[in-house]
DNA sequence: CCTTGACGAGATGTTGATGTCTCATTTAGA
DNA sequence: TCTAAATGAGACATCAACATCTCGTCAAGG
């Protein structure tokens, strides 16, 4: 009972390395990457991966769980339900972009591995935000809040995966600007 | 030399059945569906699939080629480069939504299997459309045409995959409205 | 009617990934 | 420094999917 305190740091460090490497690898290469690739990306031996996660499925599940937790934490600390809807959307986008690869992986395999958690921790808050905006006249009402939510998630995933070498600031600005104001120019037409 | 005419129809019929079944299966189940599933979805024996496509990779490649061809055809007949930019975007969205499952599959595995064709047949026309709109003052210039293109593709894929049971009319209207005008309400605020 | 070719079904070889195990080496921590 | 635990490297069995092949059946067209 006295052997638990000192090792925590080491195990946590290795575990985090595996999780991080796997998240990035799965987001970039797709979900068909092998456990060999996971080990290589994490900089550990393949056997070590199995010492921390008994199976591939367990690793994927833990990855999803951690991603949901991170999304939940960032969304909660962003206080998106306490500011104006547009500001809330901007903060939510920023939070989800910050999660990055893990969020992409989570959104892609959300139907497997606990869709209810995904629903309650991510979809629900965003939908509430849109509904509040619609009730206040800040958000258009001809598109359902559910569709707005799905569209925003799709847009974020699309931008994150298509231009991976982009700065998070730029990504956030692009997504927020596009989603809120659209692609049409607001000023008077030239020519 | 006299044995080609009567059988063409049969082989074409079987080939089309395999292609269609595989496209839908891969779009729904993901790209990890087995050749057994493909054969079952097409209603033929597994050996028959290999009589038409020598390998799994060949089938995927042919699937991608057919999808690019369909995208190319629909985009060309939409004449997106001959109408106003906003109208061109609406038509392009309509065309890509019509392609449906095949487009999702194509967009997801576009880095494998001939990315150049994807680039020249899909990305390039869309980017030209955006650039024309930007030059004329109809499309905002603070977001690169390349990013606008990627964002639109991501948005379409996201909506197509997240709400598959939605009518294509609704999908097109949602995507077009969102992408052009954004989520913000245009009228005066209430309350 | 009958011949020819395609299909269905299944056995079989091959490949690659998963998961388990051992053992030498190393490293963290007392 | 010294001990115990963790890691790395790799062998090994298992398994699922890929791909090939054969043979019996069936249907179409002459």
Does B41 score more than 60 pLDDT?
yes
B117 assigned to some structural domain? yes
Closest residue, by C-alpha, to the C1' of D5: A7
Let me know: does A108 contact A31? Beta carbons within 8 Å: yes
The pLDDT confidence band at residue B1, using thresholds 50, 70 and 90, is very low
Q: Which two tokens stand for residue A86?
A: 């547009």
Question: What average pLDDT does the segment B28-53 reach?
Answer: 93
Q: Which two tokens stand for residue A182?
A: 């659209």
Over residues A54-76, the pLDDT tens digits come to: 999 999 999 999 999 999 999 99
Do B83 and B15 have their domain in common? no
CA of A44 to C1' of C11 (A): 41
The pLDDT confidence band at residue A189, using thresholds 50, 70 and 90, is low
Do A91 and A159 have their domain in common? yes
Q: Which residue of chain B is at minimal alpha-carbon distance from A109?
A: B30
A179 assigned to some structural domain? yes
The pLDDT confidence band at residue B190, using thresholds 50, 70 and 90, is low
Let me know: does A143 contact B177? Beta carbons within 8 Å: yes
Strand D: which positions are within 7 A of a protein CB? 5-11, 16-22, 28-30
Cβ neighbours around B4 below 10 Å, total:
8
- Between A86, A152, A183, which is nearest B139 by CB? A183
CATH code at A73?
1.10.357.10
Q: For residue B52, say whether its CB is under 7 Å from any atom of strand D.
A: no
Contacts of B149 (CB under 8 A, 6+ apart): B123, B126, B127, B130
Residue A12, pLDDT score: 86
The pLDDT confidence band at residue A1, using thresholds 50, 70 and 90, is very low
The pLDDT confidence band at residue A11, using thresholds 50, 70 and 90, is confident
Over residues B55-102, the pLDDT tens digits come to: 999 999 999 999 999 999 999 999 999 999 999 999 999 999 999 889
Taking CB atoms and an 8 Å limit, are A154 and B155 in contact across chains? yes
Of B108, B81, B90, B94, nearest in space to B23 by CA: B108
Q: For residue A55, say whether its CB is under 7 Å from any atom of strand C.
A: yes
Do B70 and B152 have their domain in common? yes
Do A132 and A180 have their domain in common? yes
Residue A31, pLDDT score: 87
Q: Which domain holds residue A65?
A: 61-185
- Distance of CA A60 to CAs A73, A74, A96, A139, B126, Å? 20, 21, 19, 36, 36
Residue A97, pLDDT score: 96
Do B45 and B131 have their domain in common? no
Do A43 and A68 have their domain in common? no
Taking CB atoms and an 8 Å limit, are A179 and B182 in contact across chains? yes
Q: How many domains does chain A have?
A: 2
In terms of phi and psi (left: phi > 0; alpha: psi -120 to 50; beta: otherwise), the region of A55 is beta
Does A36 score more than 60 pLDDT?
yes
The average confidence (pLDDT) of chain B is: 89
Do A47 and A66 have their domain in common? no
The pLDDT confidence band at residue A7, using thresholds 50, 70 and 90, is very low
Residue A8, pLDDT score: 58
Do B90 and B118 have their domain in common? yes
Residue A109, pLDDT score: 85
- pLDDT above 70 coverage of chain B, percent: 92
Cα A22 from Cα A181, distance rounded (Å) = 35
HEC letters along chain B: CCCCCCCHHHHHHHHHHHHHHHHHHHHHHCCCCCHHHHHHHHCCCHHHHHHHCCCHHHHHHHHHHHHHHHHHHHHHHHCCCCCCHHHHHHHHHHHHHHHCHHHHHHHHCCCCCCHHHHHHHHHHHHHHHHHHHHHHCCECCCCCHHHHHHHHHHHHHHHHHHCCCCCHHHHHHHHHHHHHHCCECCCCCCC
Nucleotide nearest to A43 (CA to C1'): D8
Of A147, A135, A155, nearest in space to A81 by CA: A135
Q: Which two tokens stand for residue B62?
A: 């042919």
Taking CB atoms and an 8 Å limit, are B174 and A89 in contact across chains? no
Higher pLDDT, A190 or A171: A171
Do B71 and B89 have their domain in common? yes
Of B31, B36, B173, nearest in space to B97 by CA: B173
Cα A126 from Cα A85, distance rounded (Å) = 10
A81 assigned to some structural domain? yes
Do B7 and B30 have their domain in common? yes
Does A187 score more than 60 pLDDT?
yes
Taking CB atoms and an 8 Å limit, are B181 and A178 in contact across chains? no
B191 assigned to some structural domain? no
Do B71 and B19 have their domain in common? no
Question: What average pLDDT does the segment A126-149 reach?
Answer: 95
A191 assigned to some structural domain? no
Residue A111, pLDDT score: 81
Residue B183, pLDDT score: 85
Chains A, B: CB contacts within 8 A come to 142
Domain boundary residue, one of B20, B36, B54: B54
B63, with CB counted inside 10 A (0-12, 13-18, 19+), is buried
Does B121 score more than 60 pLDDT?
yes
Do B72 and B159 have their domain in common? yes
Residue A20, pLDDT score: 93
């Amino acid at each position: 009972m006295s052997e638990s305190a000192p090792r925590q740091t080491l195990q946590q460090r290795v575990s985090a390395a595996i999780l991080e490497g796997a998240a990035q690898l799965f987001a970039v290469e797709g979900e068909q990457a092998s456990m060999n690739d996971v080990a290589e990306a994490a900089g550990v031996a393949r056997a070590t991966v199995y010492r921390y996660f008994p199976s591939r499925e367990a690793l994927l599940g833990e990855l999803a769980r951690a991603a949901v937790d991170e999304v939940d934490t960032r969304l909660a600390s962003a206080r998106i339900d306490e500011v104006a809807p547009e500001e809330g959307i901007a903060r939510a986008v920023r939070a989800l972009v910050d999660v990055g690869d893990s969020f992409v992986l989570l959104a892609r395999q959300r139907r497997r591995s606990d869709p209810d958690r995904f629903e309650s921790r991510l979809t629900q808050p965003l939908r509430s935000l849109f509904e509040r905006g619609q009730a206040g006249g800040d958000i258009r009402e001809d598109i359902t809040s559910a569709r707005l939510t799905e569209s925003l998630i799709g847009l974020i995933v699309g931008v994150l995966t298509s231009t991976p070498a982009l700065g998070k600031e730029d990504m956030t600005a692009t997504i927020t600007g596009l989603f809120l104001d659209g692609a049409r120019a607001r000023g008077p037409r030239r020519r």
